[in-house]
Amino acid sequence: MKNVVVLIGSGSIGQAIARRVGAGNHIVLGDLKIEAAEAAAKIFENAGFEVSTVAVDISSRSSILNLIEHARQFGAIKNLINAAGVSPSQASVEKILQVDLYGTAVLLEEFGKVIADGGSGVVISSQSGHRLGALTEEQNAKLATSPTEELLSIDFLKEITDTLKAYQYSKRCNVLRVMYEATIWGKRGATINSISPGIIITPLAADELKGPRGEGYRNMLKASPAGRAGTPDEVGDLAEFLMSSRGRFISGADFLIDGGTTASYWYGDLQYLKKTH
C-alpha cells in the first residue's frame, strides 16, 4: 500500500502539480472525460509514475464518493489536487455554479473525512474571484459555511444571470470554503489551501491568445506588472511548497499567482478592464 495522490482535472496545471508530489506514490487521475485521464496517464506512466484513472463528475456527490472508494484501494489518501472546473465561455450559469461552486464544496467536504494525517490539498481557483467586489460579512459566511446541499439555494446566487459573475462568485466561494474546511481538515492533521492563477499558458489559453480576442489578451498581459503570462510549472512550484513539509504552517489560505494582473486591474494600468467585467 502506498500513499495516494488524487488529481481531479487532468490538464496542464494539475499535471504539473502531480509530477511534483507524486513520485513514489500512487496517482489517481480523475476527469469528467475518461479519455482525457487516460491520455494524461500515459504521459505519467512513461515518466515512471504509478497511475490509475477514473471518470468523475464533481457536481455529483455519488461520483466523488466513487472516486474516494477507488483511491482508497491503493492506500491512504495523502494529497488532493482539484484542478477541475468549467469557464464562463464553456457553460451556463447553472452549470458553472453546480461544478465550480457546489462541486468543489462537496469535494472538500468528502475528502476532509478521509484525508490522511500529515496530508494536504490544493484547490485551483482563479484570479476572477479577486475581481469581484467586497461581499458583506453575512454573504461571506453563507458561502463559507452553508451546508453543501443548501449552497445553490443562497438568495444572491439565485439572482446571477451572467456566466462571468457566476464564475467569479464560484471562485470567491472556493477561497472561502477552503478557509472553512481548513478548520475541519486540521483536526485530521491535514492542510488545505487554494491557488488563484491568472492567465497560464495551456493549450486552451494558447488558442485564446491566437483567437479573435487574442489581441485584447496580449495587450492585457503586456500591460501587467510581469509583462507576460504564467506557466503551469510556476503554479506547480507554488503548490509543491504548500503540500511539502515546508508548508505545514500554511492552511486556509489563498495564493494569487497572476504576475500582478489583479493589482493592476484594481489600481494600475489595467483599470480599463473594469468596464468590461
| CATH number of the domain that residue 145 is part of | 3.40.50.720
Active site residue 167: yes
Does the CA dihedral 206-49-196-244 come out positive or negative? negative
The conformation of residue 4, written as its DSSP 8-state character, comes to E
Q: Report how far residue 126's alpha carbon sits from residue 111's, in angstroms, rounded to the nearest whole number.
A: 21
The verdict on residue 221 lying in a domain is no
The verdict on residue 220 lying in a domain is no
Place of cell 491535514: 190
Give tens-digit pLDDT for 187-228. 999 999 999 999 999 877 777 788 777 888 888 899 999 999
The verdict on residue 268 lying in a domain is no
In the sheet with 254-257, reading across from the earlier edge strand, the strands are: 50-55, 26-31, 4-8, 77-82, 120-124, 191-197, 254-257
Give tens-digit pLDDT for 77-131. 999 999 999 888 778 999 999 999 999 999 999 999 999 999 999 999 999 999 9
The verdict on residue 196 lying in a domain is yes
| In contact, 233 and 15? CB cutoff 8 Å | no
Q: Give the total number of structural domains in the chain.
A: 1
The verdict on residue 267 lying in a domain is no
The verdict on residue 252 lying in a domain is yes
Q: Which of 78, 102, 165, 167 is flagged as catalytic?
A: 167
Predicted confidence (pLDDT) at residue 145 exceeds the cutoff of 90: yes
Residue 15 domain boundaries: 4-201+231-260
Active site residue 171: yes
In the chain, what's the furthest Cα-to-Cα distance? 54
Q: Which of 142, 171, 180, 265 is flagged as catalytic?
A: 171
The verdict on residue 273 lying in a domain is no
The verdict on residue 214 lying in a domain is no
CA-based nearest residue to 135, from 173, 167, 102: 173
